[in-house]
Amino acid sequence: MVSPFGIPVHCHLLIPNLFLSLPSGHNPFQGLRLPALETLLARSRQQSVATDGMEIWLCQAFGMTKQRDWPIAPLTLAADGGNPKQYYWLRADPVHLRVERDQIILADSGTLSISQSEADQLAEALNRHFETDGLLFYALRPDRWYLRLNSQPDIQTQPLPDVAGKNINDYLPAGTEGMHWHRLFNEIQMLFHDHPVNDAREMRGEMPINSIWLWGGGTAPTLSQKPYSKIWADDALAQSLASASQTPVAALPENGSAWLDQADNAEMGLVVLDSLRGAGQYGDVYGWQEGLQKLEQEWFVPLQGALSRGKLTALTMHAGSGSQIQSFTVTQGDLWKIWRRIKPLKSYLEY
């Protein structure tokens, strides 16, 4: 049933890194004023689902079947204008690796400001070097590259968003062919080390693109579910899932009020709010706090108001925390259940 205001009955928000986990004794929420978020969480009914991050949650929501990996590469390839055909595809995204004592920390392409010209030159170097190995690289976008294989390799990979800001040694490809691909990583790092693109970047004071990260391998998947009537997102995977499932999709609006103006006739809408993700991945507490305060004013306040006035009949927030997604569903009637007392936001990390 759609409300008389023409607004979705049920709005879903997917918010990775809503809860920032820090070492014991640190409280990233200290000093923040978030009354709308605190009220929505306190009045909600909570459910926890075991899943490994936002990408996997989205794949499962659309009924994608896991192959060796979750086959994200062929899905985003199609959305980027490529044709997966019968081939096996891996994302081969450009990254920067930095040695810190006994660790190698990965920075993803969101930190690198790569031009399409730079991407094309480095992909050409990869294709020349691996011409006889049956590897073919495509830089369809500056920040999203692809590797085409004729057959499935015996490896399992880890999604790049789960590795950003972390030591790669815990996330390298596993499987019987794992060591072969580790050696390939080393070859690529040597190939990129003195490439003219990186010489020029370092002259400008920019981080070099000194490796790639392989992940999301598979052949073109089939989606068995269409869980949302419309999706609003800037995230490439969410947009790709919408396209593959023939779900209407739009860019993320500026704020919740703008979204409410756009949301007519979408009975079950999904909004992906991923602005906290970068700060959360790299441990930027100040940036994360600023981002959360902005979400409070621009999204949580107007959506709480819409819920209280009956313009929304339900609001669900899906928040990633470690190896699980917590879902918090609140209705207009729930807002009046004042016996559900507001708790410190830090306590939701332990839910």
Domains of the chain: 10-65+222-350 (3.40.720.10), 72-218 (no CATH)
Provide CB contacts within 8 A for 286, sequence distance 6+: none
- Greatest CA span in the chain, whole angstroms? 68
Rounded Cα distance between 225 and 78, Å, is 18
CA nearest to 13, candidates 330, 341, 350, 336: 330
Kindly report, residue by residue over 177-231, the tens digit of the pLDDT. Answer: 999 999 999 999 999 999 999 999 999 999 999 999 999 999 999 999 999 999 9
Per-position b or e across 195-228, b if 16+ CB within 10 A of its CB: bebbeebeeeeebbbbbbbbbbbbebbebeebbb
CB 80 within 8 A of CB 144: yes
* C-alpha 140: how far from chain center: 19
Rounded Cα distance between 116 and 113, Å, is 10
Rounded Cα distance between 320 and 49, Å, is 10
Given the DSSP bridges, would you call strands 146-149 and 136-138 parallel, antiparallel or unpaired? antiparallel
Quick one: angle between helices 116-129 and 178-193, nearest 10?
Answer: 120
Kindly report, residue by residue over 21-47, the tens digit of the pLDDT. Answer: 776 667 888 889 999 999 999 999 999
CB 314 within 8 A of CB 9: yes
- pLDDT at residue 351, as a whole number: 43
Angle at 54 between CA 51 and CA 58, to 5 degrees: 85
pLDDT per residue as tens, the chain (351 positions): 344 445 557 899 999 999 887 766 678 888 899 999 999 999 999 998 888 888 999 999 999 999 999 999 999 999 999 999 999 999 999 999 999 988 999 999 999 999 999 999 999 999 999 999 999 999 999 999 999 999 999 999 999 999 999 999 989 999 999 999 999 999 999 999 999 999 999 999 999 999 999 999 999 999 999 999 999 999 999 999 999 999 999 999 999 999 999 887 668 899 999 999 999 999 899 999 999 999 999 999 999 999 999 889 899 999 976 678 899 999 999 989 888 888 888 888 754
Quick one: angle between helices 236-244 and 53-61, nearest 10?
Answer: 10
Rg (CA), the chain: 21
- pLDDT at residue 321, as a whole number: 60
Write out the two tokens for 312. Answer: 């929304």
CB 311 within 8 A of CB 260: yes
| Secondary structure (3-state) at 320 | strand
Given the DSSP bridges, would you call strands 88-100 and 103-107 parallel, antiparallel or unpaired? antiparallel
| Secondary structure (3-state) at 343 | coil
CB 18 within 8 A of CB 280: no
